[in-house]
Amino acid sequence: MKKRMFALMLGAVILSSVSPLFAEGMVFGIKGGSTMATGTGEDAENLSMKTGAAGGVFMCYRVTRIFGIQPELLLVMKGAKDDGWRDINNNAINASMMLNYFEIPLLLKVNIPLEGKIEPSLYSGPALGILMSAREKIEGESVDIKGLFKSIDIGIIVGAGVGYEMGKGSLILEVRYEIGMSTVMDLGAEELAAEGLTAQPDVRNSVSSIMIGYGFAF
């Protein structure tokens, strides 16, 4: 997974090899795309990647030609495939967790001013995630498991993008990676006892995403 994420990041930087689209000021836009999510941590050994979607709006205040502050409001699908399920014959059972978050990233953006209509950028910052729903799907049957997860998740985002001046705004392509800073689990005493645990399992969100959007300067 790390190799795939590095390849995506490297691809975005290579695509970004060519001018400032906007000077100082505000940019407002929309974006959407796909996510590749899984769990990471000491207790995430049975989890593997599942695909989802993400999208929302963003606003970037360009303090200077190079530096900007970009808050976003996004809906992000996270979760993972759960490869630990087996039937009585030890055959794998198709199971996955679907975690849907309302997410508020606050990113520091570094634009790379070049000549022409293309502008690459790098960014990083924290993201506050509010859990909207959590369901486990096992062989087509969906069960609500929101009560087993924390309502708030804090992550750190790193990413790269490229903008292409088009009309009165710019077309934006970006890739990003987000890692959760703490476990998403919030098991009660009974659940912990049933699993033979004395502390919450160490399972953190891990999400790579590719998004395309359009931004307007004003």
Q: What tens digit of pLDDT does each residue of 131-142 get?
A: 999 999 887 788
* DSSP for 133-202, written as a single string: EEEEEETTEEEE-GGGB-SEEEEEEEEEEEEEEETTEEEEEEEEEEEESS--B---HHHHHHHT-SS---
C-alpha 141/C-alpha 134 separation (Å) is: 14
DSSP 3-state of 69: strand
Whole-prediction pTM: 0.84
pLDDT in tens, 66-123: 999 999 999 999 999 988 655 455 556 678 899 999 999 999 999 998 888 899 999 9
